[in-house]
Amino acid sequence: MYALVVRFDLQDETRAAAFDELVEETGRGIASHEPGTLVYATHHVEGAPLARVFYELYRDREAFEEHERQPHTRRFLAERDRYVKSTRVEFVTPATAKGLPADG
């Protein structure tokens, strides 16, 4: 498995709303066209209304690379900087977990 956590800090409330719409559109594409994407969970952060955290889990690195090539993902990557003040990406290795495939 191949996983990452991304935190986006957004510029303001108006841009946060537009970012959330972009994320919704992207999520529909992921759900429809990416069988190798096992988990794509987006979160609002309690107490930080301009922050978003994504947890992404892929079957393997190849599935992640396929995700990056998809038109919906390319659109997200091209447009996100209009809304984002800062981004932090951390690649993580799943360890103890409930709900992940057992072969991870």
Say how many domains are in the chain: 1
Residue 98 lies in a domain: no
Return the ∠ at Cα 64 (arms to 87 and 58), rounded to 5°.
100
104 pLDDT above the threshold of 80: no
Residue 102 lies in a domain: no
3-state secondary structure at position 100: coil
Residue 104 lies in a domain: no
Rounded to 5 degrees, φ, ψ at 24 are: -60, -45
The two three-digit tokens of residue 34, written as one number: 């990416």
Residue 97 lies in a domain: no
Q: What is the pLDDT of residues 21-73, one digit of tens each?
A: 999 999 999 999 999 999 999 999 999 999 999 999 999 999 999 999 999 99
Q: What CATH code is carried by the domain that includes residue 31?
A: 3.30.70.100
The parent domain of residue 8 ranges over 2-52+59-92
103 pLDDT above the threshold of 60: no
Residue 101 lies in a domain: no
Rounded to 5 degrees, φ, ψ at 26 are: -65, -40
Residue 79 lies in a domain: yes
